[in-house]
């Protein structure tokens, strides 16, 4: 790429490219940066027609309000409960199904079930929220976290099963055969040999299920109306109504809520990007 060297006026396409990248980053990141900035600003500097980018002093009063005087931590606790249960349930169900799919995919019944899973993945939430609400009502699970646990697990199982099938496909059966030749009893083979080899797949699936469940809004908002039982995303939505003018507190709550997702993402981003990329080139 000879453009990288040479006199500056020849390099203008490259400089233009860097300028475009700067604009792109600004566009993508400014809202998030502004949110965090606002969270640390004292209220007079927020409610002004003449805001600045850098606060004159940093204050933690909004965070104090959110953590001390609201149900924010309760919401987080509920979300944690739901998300961890959903992750565990999804792992169990998807590992079983994914393994069956991978090793026994030639059986007609299995392929049928698999096709059903793929189709099930495509059903959108809004079409299910009405009948599922009625179902949960009939089961007496409204305002109960189990309604969310069941729903979220159902939503993450199809994709998780397919992901785990892909990971199991990459574990050759010869490994299982060799283990048995070495005297490993059949019942132990899956547990001791196959699963440890599929750990990256299990991790990715677990994180996917967790993030899906953590971020979900519509069903959490619809199934649970009691404030004590709310999960985090609907809880945050309630804040908008509760604190219509306290933008500092709102932004503080938002900043706190973004944290776990960002941390999870920073860990996952390698798999995420390569996963999306492989999907793209295969598709």
- Binders of another protein among residues 104 to 143 (CB under 8 A) are 104, 106-110, 113, 116-117, 120, 122-135
Instruction: Check residue 191 and report its DSSP letter.
Output: I
CB of 226 to another protein, least distance (A): 16
CB of 52 to another protein, least distance (A): 10
CB of 130 to another protein, least distance (A): 5
Judged by CB, which is closer to another protein: 117, or 209? Answer: 117
Judged by CB, which is closer to another protein: 212, or 229? Answer: 212
Size of the site for another protein (CB under 8 A): 102
- Determine which residue in the list 78, 153, 204, 213 makes contact with another protein, applying CB under 8 A: 153
- Which region, judged by CB under 8 A, interacts with another protein, from 55-63, 66-74, 155-163, 198-206? 155-163
Tokens 């009502």 belong to: 137
Q: Cα–Cα distance between 58 and 56 in angstroms, integer? A: 7
- Which region, judged by CB under 8 A, interacts with another protein, from 62-70, 80-88, 198-206, 231-239? 231-239
> Quick check: helix, strand or coil at residue 278?
helix
CB of 3 to another protein, least distance (A): 9
Q: How far is CA 108 from CA 125, 160, 227, in A?
A: 29, 21, 47
- Which region, judged by CB under 8 A, interacts with another protein, from 61-69, 70-78, 80-88, 258-266? 258-266
CA torsion sign, 127 to 130 to 133 to 135?
negative
Give, as ranges, the residues between 6 and 25 that touch another protein (CB under 8 A): 14, 17-18, 20-21, 24-25
Judged by CB, which is closer to another protein: 229, or 257? Answer: 257
Q: Which two tokens stand for residue 121?
A: 């993945």
List of residues 6+ apart from 62 with CB closer than 8 A: 39, 40, 246, 248, 249, 251, 252
Calculate helix-pair angle for 72-103, 145-169, nearest 10 degrees: 40
- Which region, judged by CB under 8 A, interacts with another protein, from 63-71, 80-88, 145-153, 196-204? 145-153
CB of 109 to another protein, least distance (A): 6
Q: Cα–Cα distance between 107 and 124 in angstroms, integer? A: 29
Give, as ranges, the residues between 185 and 214 that touch another protein (CB under 8 A): 186, 189-190, 214
- Determine which residue in the list 10, 64, 228, 265 makes contact with another protein, applying CB under 8 A: 265
Judged by CB, which is closer to another protein: 74, or 218? Answer: 218
Pick from 12, 67, 17: nearest CA to 39: 67
Contact 204, 275 (CB under 8 A): yes
Calculate helix-pair angle for 72-103, 61-69, nearest 10 degrees: 80
Give, as ranges, the residues between 39 and 78 that touch another protein (CB under 8 A): 46-51
Q: Which two tokens stand for residue 255?
A: 């900043």
């Amino acid at each position: 790429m000879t453009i990288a060297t040479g006199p500056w006026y020849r390099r203008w396409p490259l400089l233009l490219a860097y300028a475009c990248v700067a604009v792109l980053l600004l566009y993508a990141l400014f809202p998030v940066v502004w949110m965090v900035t606002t969270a640390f600003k004292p209220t007079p500097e927020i409610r002004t027609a003449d805001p600045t980018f850098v606060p004159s002093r940093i204050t933690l009063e909004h965070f104090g309000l959110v953590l001390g005087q609201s149900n924010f931590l309760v919401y987080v606790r509920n979300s944690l409960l739901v998300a961890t249960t959903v992750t565990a349930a999804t792992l169990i169900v998807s590992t079983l199904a994914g393994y069956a799919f991978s090793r026994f995919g030639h059986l007609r019944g299995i392929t049928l079930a698999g096709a059903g899973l793929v189709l099930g993945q495509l059903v959108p939430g809004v079409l299910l929220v009405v009948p599922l609400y009625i179902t949960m009502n009939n089961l007496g699970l409204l305002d109960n976290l189990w309604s969310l646990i069941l729903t979220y697990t159902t939503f993450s199982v199809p994709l998780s099963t397919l992901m785990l099938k892909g990971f199991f496909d990459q574990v050759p059966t010869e490994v299982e055969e060799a283990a048995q030749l070495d005297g490993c009893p059949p019942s132990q083979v899956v547990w001791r040999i196959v699963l440890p080899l599929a750990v990256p797949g299990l991790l990715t699936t677990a994180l996917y299920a967790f993030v899906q469940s953590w971020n979900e809004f519509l069903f959490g908002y619809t199934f649970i109306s009691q404030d004590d039982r709310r999960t985090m995303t609907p809880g945050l939505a309630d804040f908008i109504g509760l604190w219509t003018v306290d933008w500092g507190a709102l932004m503080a709550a938002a900043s706190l809520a973004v944290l776990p997702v960002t941390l999870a993402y920073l860990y996952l981003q390698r798999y995420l990007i390569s996963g999306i990329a492989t999907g793209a080139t295969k598709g």
